[in-house]
Amino acid sequence: MRAFVLSATDTPPEVVETPMPEPKAGEIRLKIRACGLNFADLLMARGEYQERPALPFTMGMEVAGVIDALGEGVMGFAPGQRVAAFAGRGGLAEYGCFPAHSCLPIPDAMPFEHAAGFMVAYGTSHVALAHRARLTEGETLLVLGAAGGVGLTAVEIGAQLGARVVAVARGAEKLAVAKAAGALVLIDSESADLKAEFKALGGVDVVYDAVGEPAASAALRALRPEGRFVVIGFAGGEIPKFPANILLVKNIDVIGLYWGGYAVFKPQVITESLGQLMAMYAKGQLHPHVSHALPLEETAQGMELMRSRKSTGKVVITMPE
Instruction: Compute CA 259 distance to the chain's CA centroid, rounded to the nearest angstrom.
Output: 9
Answer whether 2-118+288-318 and 122-260 agree in fold: no
**Cβ-Cβ contacts under 8 Å for 176 (sequence gap 6 or more):** none
Per-residue pLDDT, averaged over 262-288, amounts to: 92
Q: Give 3-state DSSP helix, strand, coil % of the chain, rounded to 5.
A: 35, 30, 40
Between the two ends of the chain, the Cα-to-Cα distance in Å is 13
54, burial (CB in 10 Å: exposed 0-12, middle 13-18, buried 19+): exposed
Pick from 240, 183, 182, 180: which is nearest to 211 by CA? Answer: 240
Q: What digits encode the pLDDT tens for the residues 236-246?
A: 778 999 999 99
pLDDT greater at residue 88 or residue 216? 216
How many CA atoms within 13 Å lie on the side-chain side of 313? 22
**Cβ-Cβ contacts under 8 Å for 281 (sequence gap 6 or more):** 107, 110, 114, 118
User: Phi, psi at residue 83, to the nearest 5°?
Assistant: -140, 160
Rounded CA-CA distance 45/51 in Å is: 11
User: Phi, psi at residue 200, to the nearest 5°?
Assistant: -70, -15
Q: With bands split at pLDDT 50, 70 and 90, how would you rate the model's confidence at 151?
A: very high
Per-residue pLDDT, averaged over 291-297, amounts to: 96
Q: What is the residue extent of each domain of the chain?
A: 2-118+288-318, 122-260
Per-residue pLDDT, averaged over 33-54, amounts to: 89
**pLDDT surpasses 90 at 187:** yes
| CATH number, span 122-260 | 3.40.50.720
Q: What digits encode the pLDDT tens for the residues 109-124?
A: 999 999 999 999 999 9
CB 129, CB 141: distance < 8 Å: yes
DSSP 87-136: -SS--SBSEEEEEGGGEEE--TTS-HHHHHTTHHHHHHHHIIIIIIS---
Q: What is the mean pLDDT of the chain?
A: 94
**pLDDT surpasses 80 at 162:** yes
pTM of the model: 0.90
Lowest mean pLDDT among 49-53, 58-62, 96-100: 49-53
| C-alpha torsion sign, points 112, 52, 19, 22 | negative
Per-residue pLDDT at 87: 81
The architecture (CATH level 2) of 2-118+288-318 comes to Alpha-Beta Complex (3.90)
Per-residue pLDDT, averaged over 268-288, amounts to: 93
Per-residue pLDDT, averaged over 27-31, amounts to: 98
Per-residue pLDDT at 52: 84
